[in-house]
Amino acid sequence: METWLLILITVALIVLLLLRIKKPKYLKTLSQEEFKENYRKAQLIDVREEREFKTGHILGARNIPLSQMKQRMTEIRPDKPVYLYCQNGSRTVQAAKILRKKRGAQDLNHLKGGFRKWTGKIKK
């Protein structure tokens, strides 16, 4: 009986984790080319932590770490396109959920593969 309970708890935790990182339909995934086309006309937000941002970031990006997103979300205008990126793409999903739910942002986009796949201009 204890084994079944342990299995049930493990499965429940896995399901919760998958739901947390699942990309919502309103978050558009952009290829590097699509991202480059319009990111200068949008609010470009790097959701990595400050120490990661300082090692290099996309030129023109503002750093609003995911860990600070709820406190700093008023810095992002909900009526303008938002282009998000992180190291590999997983934190942008969580940031987009916060911006949609708490800030009402509609035009949310993220970079496929994140910063580690970026080949465009960067600032160090």
Q: Which residues are catalytic?
A: 86
CA distance 78 to 102: 10
DSSP readout, 37-88?
Answer: HHGGGSEEEE-S-HHHHHT-EETT-EE--GGGHHHHGGGS-TTS-EEEE-SS
Tokens of 48: 């990595």
Please name the residue that has the structure tokens 């035009």: 107
Please name the residue that has the structure tokens 């942008």: 92
Closest Cα partner for 20 from 98, 82, 87, 73? 98
